[in-house]
Amino acid sequence: METYIFILFATLAVAAAVGMITSRNTVNSALFLVLNLISVAGIFLLLKAQFLAVIQVLVYGGAIMVLFLFVIMLLNLSDEEQMLSKFSVRYAVGFFLGVIVLSQLLYVIASVTGTLPRIHPEMEAVGTVETIGDALFNIYMLPVLVTAILLTAAVVGALLLAQRNISGKVNK
Amino acid sequence: MLEQYIPVLLLVALAVVTAMAFIVLSRLLGPQRPASNKLGAYESGMDPVGQARDRYSVSFYIIAMEFIVFDLEVIFIYPFAVRFQEFGAGTFWAMMLFIFILFLGLVYTLKKGSFDWTAVPLQDEQSQESSYKIS
Amino acid sequence: MQQFLESFLPAGPLVVFVFSIIPLMIILVYALFAIWLERKVAGHIQDRLGPMHTGGWHGWSQTIADLVKMIQKEDIVPAKADRFLFKMAPFIAFAASYAAFVAIPFSSGYIGSMIDVGIFYIVAITSLLSVSIIMAGWASNNKWSLLGAMRTAAQTVSYEVPTVVTILSVIIVTGTLNLMEVTEMQTGNAFLGFLPNWLIFHSPFMVIAFVLFFIASLAEAHRVPFDLPESESELVGGYQTEYSGMRWGLFMLTEYADMLLLSLVGATLFFGGWNSPFGSFMDGPVWGAFWMLLKGMILVFVMMWLRWTLPRLRVDQLMNVCWKYLIPLSFVNLVLIALWEMIF
């Protein structure tokens, strides 16, 4: 049963990823990415990490996606045809690296034998909110606080970039 | 645990099937008479002018950015809220500090006037100059 | 409930199927009823009668007639639209808002699924709605649609923050995300001797939390005074401008389902869910479903009532209300509830 669900989600994720790369249109790519991220959430669920799975849907499927779409609307990216037409060393290197990664992946896939590895029964207890809460606020309290500073820095950085953009436009 | 989510999958599938059934029924029962006027974009009765997909204000980007920050903050508060009764005062005050730091970011955004949607977020002379220097 | 179904249904998978289909049935019937109710409420507030003829008694079958009419309408996909996304968007909105009902405890005997992270799951799955709205607006390739979609998405994501923060301030008291357990915690009438143990009576800050939650949920459900997505005087039809016939109908059903979802979440978190207000009187699984739906419908009714009472906000006021007042207030309230919990 779990194997079939895994195959379903994994195929969906890979298909969505392929769709994301191949579609010319930026908004279509972004929406394929949503599908990809949600399938990954399904795989998290199979690994018994339910809190993480829901976070995946909430943050990536909802929040990050809205940000991506707003940025696409802000930049008004047109179709990517122009980019493909000019060939450069960068693309050659990118292609070469891609081939390496693909061959590694194929090697890993080929070396897998049998079905899915068994998930440790104790995983069920690890993936809950309670366990994560205990770990976060007893052991990793300082990193949590540093995260807050990081997020605030992100806001300040985003504002500086965006506001400069606006005031530059006004001054011209 | 996994079986908790099987009804979710079932309900999603059922919702899609129900919606499909509605659409298919409407395809079967409804007329199909496409006309160039009918298929054009609606622009208050005039012929559409220019492109619909234009550039949008940067204010939307700022909203999305601020939303992500608060979304992540809220995700940290979820486990905190669930285990609140087990934690001592130390964790509570640490969490207050966490919320406070993120609040500074909100106050900064409000001070910059990024949520004032009345016009392009215009700034006073001074801050305009200062932000111009950065560029 | 599951055992009850197993007693007369032959196969196991069939039980799961019937078990899962119940929310869908409830919501479809509710949507038909709510649209009729909305017209009646609107009529009576404006000193009219509303629909009176279709079906006989007070026009009860008006919405069914409308649905039949809508099915007979032509399914138009604009020529310049992105066909695939245009067709997909209503499905995603519909599926996302309906899947959220799985975690709502309709009565002590029925909940679609005992998801451990219940309320968190609901928040996550409804956040996909904003993606489907941008999808609809962008695919339409119409200025009104895209502008409406952008505004709707900005509004939905902004008001998600105060909604979630007020939900969290309730979670601080209950200590669980499972809505069934939250409701079970509110059973009994011990508070001040006669009041039910509902969380709204728990502390004065809970009342503030409910008010904030209700305001934010009005904006989440795109209801007046926050109905900018449908502000026909400035945006024509918002993101739905190019939709017609049944595809538009799906968006309509989604809006009403969203209203009920937020009302039911509010009823569960603050008003005891399926608990009877009279202690053990009129209690039990069947009465539980009655109380739950009644509480939800009362909140839905208040939303309809507000629609004919308040004027609409402007988009800049909308953002001000959220970021300058609701979010700071809800965070302060969260801290105060946590302090109250620590002291008492």
* Interface membership of C230 toward B (CB under 8 Å): no
Cβ within 8 Å of residue A52, ≥6 positions away: A44, A127
Residues of chain A with pLDDT under 50: 167-172
Look at residue B52 and tell me if it is in a domain: no
B24 and B66 part of one domain: no
Note the pLDDT tens digit of each residue in C235-278: 777 788 888 888 888 888 888 888 899 999 999 998 888 888 87
What does the block give as tokens for A163? Answer: 């506001």
Q: How many CB atoms lie within 10 A of CB A140?
A: 12
B116 and B68 part of one domain: yes
Count of domains in chain B?
Answer: 2
Cβ within 8 Å of residue B71, ≥6 positions away: A58, A59, A62, A63, C160, C161
B27 and B73 part of one domain: no
Q: What per-residue confidence (pLDDT) applies to C252?
A: 86
Is the Cβ pair A145, B94 closer than 8 Å?
Answer: yes
Nearest Cα to Cα of residue C327 among C161, C127, C153: C161
Inter-helix orientation angle C143-174/C118-126, to 10° = 170
Look at residue B25 and tell me if it is in a domain: yes
Q: How far apart are CA C105 and CA C271, in angstroms?
A: 13
Q: Give me the domain span that covers residue B12.
A: 2-32
Q: How many CB atoms lie within 10 A of CB A35?
A: 18
Cβ within 8 Å of residue C141, ≥6 positions away: B41, B52, B53, C78, C80, C81, C82, C242
Contact between C116 and C295 under an 8 Å Cβ cutoff? The reply is no
Q: C5 pLDDT band (50/70/90 cuts)?
A: low
Is the Cβ pair B116, C320 closer than 8 Å?
Answer: yes
Look at residue B133 and tell me if it is in a domain: no
Look at residue B63 and tell me if it is in a domain: yes
B73 and B19 part of one domain: no
Q: In sequence order, what are the beta bridge partners of C191?
A: C195
Q: Which of B1, B2, B3, B4 to mutate to test the interface with C (most CBs of C within 10 A)?
A: B4
* Interface membership of B104 toward C (CB under 8 Å): no
Q: What per-residue confidence (pLDDT) applies to C162?
A: 92
* Interface membership of B56 toward C (CB under 8 Å): yes
Note the pLDDT tens digit of each residue in C286-340: 888 888 889 999 999 998 888 888 888 877 788 888 888 899 999 999 989 988 8
Q: How far apart are CA B2 and CA B5, in angstroms?
A: 6
Is the Cβ pair C250, B19 closer than 8 Å?
Answer: yes
Domains and CATH numbers, chain A: 2-139 (1.20.120.1200)
Look at residue B71 and tell me if it is in a domain: yes
DSSP letter at B33 equals -
DSSP E strand boundaries for C66-189:
105-107, 110-111
Q: Of the candidates C76, C90, C319, which has its C-beta nearest B19's C-beta?
A: C90
Look at residue B73 and tell me if it is in a domain: yes
What does the block give as tokens for C308? Answer: 């004919």
Interface confidence (ipTM) of the complex: 0.81
Is the pLDDT confidence value at B128 over 50? Answer: no
Look at residue B44 and tell me if it is in a domain: no
Is the pLDDT confidence value at C62 over 60? Answer: yes
Q: How far apart are CA C341 and CA C332, in angstroms?
A: 14
Dihedral sign, Cα of residue A114, residue A120, residue A121, residue A125: negative
What does the block give as tokens for C49? Answer: 């009668």
Look at residue B43 and tell me if it is in a domain: no
Cβ within 8 Å of residue B115, ≥6 positions away: B59, B62, B63, B109, C319, C320, C323, C324
b vs e for C314-342, b when ≥16 Cβ sit within 10 Å of the residue's Cβ?
ebeebbbbbbeebbebbbebbbbbbebbe
- Nearest-Cα residue of chain C relative to residue A33: C131
B28 and B64 part of one domain: no
Rounded to a whole number of angstroms, the distance between the first and last alpha carbons of chain C is 38
Q: How many CB atoms lie within 10 A of CB B107?
A: 11
Q: What per-residue confidence (pLDDT) applies to B121?
A: 47
Instruction: Enumerate residues 38 to 97 of chain B having a beta carbon within 8 A of any beta carbon in chain A.
Output: 53-58, 60-69, 71-73, 75-76, 78-80, 82-83, 86-87, 91, 94-95, 97
Contact between C190 and C165 under an 8 Å Cβ cutoff? The reply is no
Q: How far apart are CA C169 and CA C200, in angstroms?
A: 12
